[in-house]
Structures are given as structure tokens and as C-alpha cells.
Structure 1
Amino acid sequence: MEWLDWFNDSIAYVEEQLTNEIVLEEAARRAKCSTYHYQRMFSYIAGVTLGEYIRRRKMSLAGVDLQQGQKVIEVAAKYGYESPTAFNRVFKTVHGITPQEAKKDGAKLTSYPMLTFAITVKGVHAVEYQLIEKEAFYVTGLGLALGKDMEENQQKIPEFWNEVAAAGRVQELLPIMDGNSPGVLGINLMTKEVQEKWEYVIGVASKEVPIGFKQYKIPAAKWAVFSGEGPMPYSIQDLAKQVFTEWLPTSGFEYAELPDMEVYLDNNPTDAKFQIWLPVRLKRA
């Protein structure tokens, strides 16, 4: 599959740059997708974030350098750490010992090899989906400004949900929800085709805009819609991983680089009903 070759090319670039600056845009360009989609796909396929993978690889190589007699301060600088203290902290997180301890004879280190993406046999569980053509529509809600680091965003978004829910803001939106588009939406506005500044929105489909809320326009798209239920957040995370690693690569479609959505049809955390709305287009030649 071509996309595997593209992702392996991006990993080769990351490996080449472990002692230099790793430009996220270049890694994503080699994988032929946006920086947002690249980081998300990487996490689903590899099981760790791109940032964590890079840290593990740097510390694996740093351990070899230290055991070969290089000085801690030199190795820290080699892998981009201006502060030996920061280097020590990350090194110990990966190896369980300090850099100085790693230099001793018999020290045990952990090595994380370079990733290689390959086809694996999957598909034991069927994936049911619907294709829905939907015109542009409006969402009223609250937005969270985000940076381009998906690892940080994965921490901020759950906190944002907790804050909005605790303040009762979701309940304020329910009376204005469009009855033809039910559900509380979690929308990723993280594609340059829509806006340069990344934002995550919690809201409902509505043309009304009460005081204290903002309105967002979601572009017309062809959506692949996947439904699920179960305890949160694990059930929706498992479904998303299946969608991106099993369904999407073999579906004949590709991610359309438009906003994608999670739709929560009830608020029962132990047995939630939800949908994933993924914008798709036919795979380009």
C-alpha cells in the first residue's frame, strides 16, 4: 500500500534528523497528509505519540553514546537538550536510571528500535458505516485554541470537556440544538483548508447563538459515519483506532482534510452512544 511507503519515508526523515531539528511539516509532507492527520495517524498506528517516539529513539541512541564514553553534557547537547537537567529527567523516564549510572559497567538500558510500518492481518471485527452527503451547516459552541503539538492537545481537550461540563455550558446548548442533527459535538478544526489556527469546539448544530457562545461553519462534505456504544472514553478511542488503521486504508477513500467530529448522543459515561464522522473523498491516483 502506498500510504505505508509514505509513512516509512517520513520515519526515515525523523531518524535522519534525531540529532538535528525535526520539522513536523516535512515529516507530514513525506507522508502526504496534513500535520494534524499525520500526528493522529502516527499515534493510532504506532501506539504512541510522535513526540514520545522521538524521545524514546533519542534516549536509546543517547544510552549507546554514554556507554561508549561520551560526556553527559555532550550527549545532552547532541540530542537537542540545552539543559542537562531536562536531559537527565527524560533519560531516567526512558531507562529508569540516570545518565551517569548508564556509564557504569553492567548498566541495564532500554532500547527502542526504529519503527517500520507494515501490513498486518486484521479485519476480524466488521466495521459498519454509512456514507452521508451533508451541506455546510452551523455549530454553536465554545472553542479551545490549540497549538500544533498533538501530544499537548490530547491533554488539553479532555480538560476542556471537564471544564465545560462542570460549568453547565453543555446544558445551556441543548435547548437550541437542531432536531435534525442531534447530539453534542466535539469538532476538530485543525486543517489549513478551514483555518490556520487550530481549535477544538464543543457545541451543537444550531443557527442560534446565545450570549457567551460562538458560531462556526462546518463545510459541506461526504462523511463516513461510524456508530458505537460503551464505556467512555475507551469505547470511542477503540472505534477511532479501528476506523483509521483498518477501515480507512482499505476503503477506497482518504481523509478529506476537513473538520472531523465526534457526536455524543447521550451522556451516560458507562454506556454512551456515539458516532464518529470522518470527512472522506475518493482516493486520488
Structure 2
Amino acid sequence: MNNFKVEKKGPFRIIGFKTVLTGGTSIHSPHFSSQKTTFFKSAIDNGQMAALRPLAEGPYGYAVVAKEGETVCYYPGVQSSQALPASAEEVWFPESEYLILSGSGGLSRLAFDKLEDQAFGTILTDTFEWEYSGTPVAEVLLNGNPVDAEVEVWVPVQKRNNR
């Protein structure tokens, strides 16, 4: 598994539309997958994603998974510093080190799920020098094709205290 690296990223902002995910309280749960797919499809079908596209400051599509207290929320959207459109919300990502996992082929949701399983189930264990920092996780669609996707997952990390 040589599909990951740790890299520093500057601060950035994602604007998108929010839904609450149910069935889990951690940032990553298998219960979230179908909920993310359903909400993302509805945001496309009702024109919300098309309304965000002109505000995008890059070619990538984004989705965010963020904890708000004990609630986990999901925001499909775009990276932008433009004014927030009606009914959209913003998620700020701090300057941080990020565990960046890359994958390609197949449906984007399956690729994102596989990379998040790898991050939280295989890599970010007690033996890895980095740990999840608790801030939002970004799912990034690099090629704009959710059927034959090229994706990355950006998990914010910090050095473990005992390293």
C-alpha cells in the first residue's frame, strides 16, 4: 500500500450543502456510505451542485465529513472564497499536515470508502507516527468522473505525543 503520503496544506474553505449522518458517532463509519451517496445524488438532481460550480476555484469536486459535537455531518461542495450562496454552508480547513490517500477506478463512493477504511482502519493505528487531529476530512474527486473515478481523501493529522 504505497498510495499515501503526509503533506502540509495551507488553509482552505469548502462551501456546500449539509446533511446529518446517522448510525455512527466517529468521523468514519460504514453506516455513512449510502447516506452520502443519497444526499450527493439529491444535491445534483435538485441543481444545488450546479449552482456551486461557477463559484469553484479549481476543477475538483469536494465533499466534507465533519464532526459538530457528537453529530457527524456531510457537505458535498466546491473549494471557494466567494460569497456563500443561499442555503449553503462553509467548512474551514486549517493549515495542517494531511494524510493524503489516492485511488482510482470504479465508482467514486466505493473508492472514497476504501481509502477512508484504509486511513482509519489500517494506517492511523497506534504504531503510526501520525494520528487523526479531529478536524474535517475532505473527499476529493480529481477527474470529475464519479463512474471511473480518480480520488483522494485528505485526513488531517498531527504527530503523536509519544513520538
Do structure 1's residue 158 and structure 2's residue 34 form an aligned pair?
no
The CA distance in 1 between the partners of 2:149 and 2:34, in whole Å, is 21
Question: Relative contact order, CA 8 A, sep 6+: which one is greater?
Answer: 2
Alignment partner, residue 137 of structure 2:
260
Change (3 A) 1:148 1:234: closer
Question: Is structure 2 residue 80 aligned with structure 1 residue 201?
Answer: no
1:141 matched to 2:20? The reply is no
Q: What percentage of aligned pairs have identical amino acids?
A: 25
Q: Is the 8 A contact 2:61 2:144 kept in 1?
A: no
Structure 2 vs 1, CA of residues 152 and 225 (structure 1 numbering), >3 Å: closer, same or farther?
A: closer
Q: Does the CA-based 8 Å contact 1:223-1:278 persist in structure 2? A: yes
TM-score normalised over the length of structure 1: 0.49
Name the SS of the counterpart of 1:164 in structure 2.
helix
- Asked if 2 retains the 8 angstrom alpha-carbon contact of 1:191 and 1:259, the reply is no
Given that 2:3 and 2:103 are in contact with CA atoms closer than 8 Å, whether structure 1 keeps it comes out as no
**Higher share in helix:** 1
CA-based RMSD: 2.3
| Other-structure match for 1:28 | none
Q: Structure 1 residue 173 and structure 2 residue 49: aligned?
A: no
Of 108, 114, 117 in structure 2, the residue corresponding to residue 241 of structure 1 is 117
4+ runs deviating over 6 angstroms: none
1:246 to partner: Cα distance: 2.7
One-letter code of the match for 2:36? I
The alpha carbon displacement at 1:210 in A equals 2.6
Question: Is the contact made by 2:15 and 2:78 (CA closer than 8 Å) also made in structure 1?
Answer: yes
Report the TM-score, using the length of structure 2 for normalisation: 0.80
Distance 1:191 1:256 in 2: 14
2:64 pairs with one of 183, 187, 192: 187
CA 1:170/1:217 → structure 2, altered by over 3 Å: closer, same or farther? Answer: same
Contact kept? 1:185, 1:202, Cα under 8 Å: yes
> Which is strand-richer, 1 or 2?
2
In 1, the alpha carbon distance for the partners of 2:159 and 2:20 equals 31
Q: Which amino acid aligns with 1:238?
A: K
**Runs (5+) with no aligned partner, structure 1:** 1-125
Aligned length: 155
The Cα of 1:148 is off from its aligned counterpart by: 6.2
Equivalent residues of 2:111, 2:151 under 8 A apart: no
Alpha carbons 2:13, 2:92 under 8 Å: kept: yes
Residues 187-230 of structure 1, C-alpha deviations (whole Å, 9 max, x = no match): 111154xxx54321111111112334222322332111111111
Distance 1:204 1:216 in 2: 10
Q: 1:214 to 1:245 in 2, by over 3 A?
A: closer
One-letter amino acid of the structure 2 residue matched with residue 142 of structure 1? F
1:154 to 1:241, Cα distance in 2 relative to 1, 3 A: closer
Structure 1 residues 220 and 191: CA distance shift in structure 2, 3 A: farther
Which ranges of structure 2 fall in alignment gaps of 5 or more residues?
none
**Post-superposition shift, 1:235?**
2.8
CA distance in 2, matches of 1:137, 1:270: 27
Aligned to 1:282: 159
